[in-house]
Amino acid sequence: MVVWSFLGSILCGFVLAPTAFSAGDEGDAVALKEVQEVVKQLQARYEKTKDLQADFTQKTTIEGFDRPITSSGKVYIKKPGQLRWNYLDPSVEDIYVNRDDVKVYVPEHRQVLVGKLTQMAASKAPLELLLGAAKLEESYDIEPTPGKGRGVGGIRLLTLLPRSQEGEAGRSLQRIVLEVFPKTYFIRTIKLYEMSGNVASFEFSSLQSNIGLGDAVFHLKLPADVEVVKAPVFNPPQ
């Protein structure tokens, strides 16, 4: 739940803010300046973005398994707080978010799971990220990515380190690495490294912004015989 809600928020720029940096392993003033410039450009780009659609490819590497799990589909986002995340291959699964309301539809099972994002994720963090109530610098330290540290066009990669261990994201995420497209500064790739050793990688293509996505795009139309299942409430540890 955290993964795609976080991705939606990042892709539509709901959480970007050009402050809170640390020098990281490189400790290099030049590298830090480059990181600040990337975030500045990223912020400027997404502040102008009202809606966005893109194709995505997801590769998930599970600790202990040799072959990654690959899937692909489309994502649609509209400010404020509307997200449609459609897996199309190898199987179909549709995720719709409208502020705090979530619907997860699997046509093969003829079943839709409905619930509240805050309850299903056991934390308000995903919703706050999606709706823009949280700021990136309030949740993450931003630093240059060690090693190669650059993406397409030589643009500096950004590493995000969770500041808090509270909530699902804080307990499961070790770090997040972002790559942007040269010139446009739209998000190109996102890699989420989990404490467990699992890595989820998302690559985006065919991005189109400000195309006037209507609210109907984010309305799930279900066949009459689909079973509606209430999502279980995740209770965080006390």
Q: How far apart are CA 37 and CA 136, in angstroms?
A: 15
pLDDT at 220: 92
Q: Is residue 104, in this structure, part of any structural domain at all?
A: yes
Give residue-wise pLDDT tens across range 85-108. 999 999 999 989 887 788 999 999
Q: Is residue 22, in this structure, part of any structural domain at all?
A: yes
pLDDT at 151: 87
pLDDT at 2: 46
Closest CA relative to residue 218, chosen from 106, 98, 111, 120: 98
Three-state SS sequence of 92-157: CEEEEEECCEEEEEEHHHCEEEEEEHHHHHCCCHHHHHHHCCCCHHHHEEEEECCCCCECHHHCEC
Closest CA relative to residue 208, chosen from 55, 40, 14, 39: 55
- Cβ-based neighbour number of residue 91 at 10 Å: 10
pLDDT at 72: 95
Give residue-wise pLDDT tens across range 136-167. 556 678 888 887 788 888 899 988 887 765 55
Residues 170 and 49: beta-carbon distance below 8 Å: no
How confident is the chain (238 residues) per 10-residue block, as mean pLDDT?
52 48 57 85 82 92 87 90 90 88 90 80 48 57 82 89 61 82 89 87 92 94 90 57
Q: 């997801």: which residue's tokens?
A: 58
What are the structure tokens assigned to 113, written together? 């799971």
Q: Is residue 237, in this structure, part of any structural domain at all?
A: no
3-class secondary structure, 57: strand
Q: Is residue 91, in this structure, part of any structural domain at all?
A: yes
pLDDT at 80: 80
Q: Is residue 124, in this structure, part of any structural domain at all?
A: yes
**Residue 85 to residues 13, 130, 180, 219: CA-CA distances in angstroms?**
16, 13, 20, 12
**Residue 142 to residues 113, 132, 164: CA-CA distances in angstroms?**
35, 18, 14
**Residue 157 to residues 37, 97, 138: CA-CA distances in angstroms?**
11, 29, 20
Tell me which H or E stretch contains 168. Answer: helix 167-172
- Which CATH number do you get for residue 145? 2.50.20.10
Residue 156 belongs to domain spanning: 2-230
Q: Is residue 236, in this structure, part of any structural domain at all?
A: no
pLDDT at 236: 47
pLDDT at 114: 92
pLDDT at 119: 66
Q: How far apart are CA 196 and CA 184, in angstroms?
A: 34
pLDDT at 4: 53
Tell me which H or E stretch contains 86. Answer: strand 82-89
List the end-to-end C-alpha distance of the chain, in Å, as a whole number.
21
What's the structural domain count of the chain? 1
Q: Is residue 235, in this structure, part of any structural domain at all?
A: no
pLDDT at 195: 84
pLDDT at 55: 95
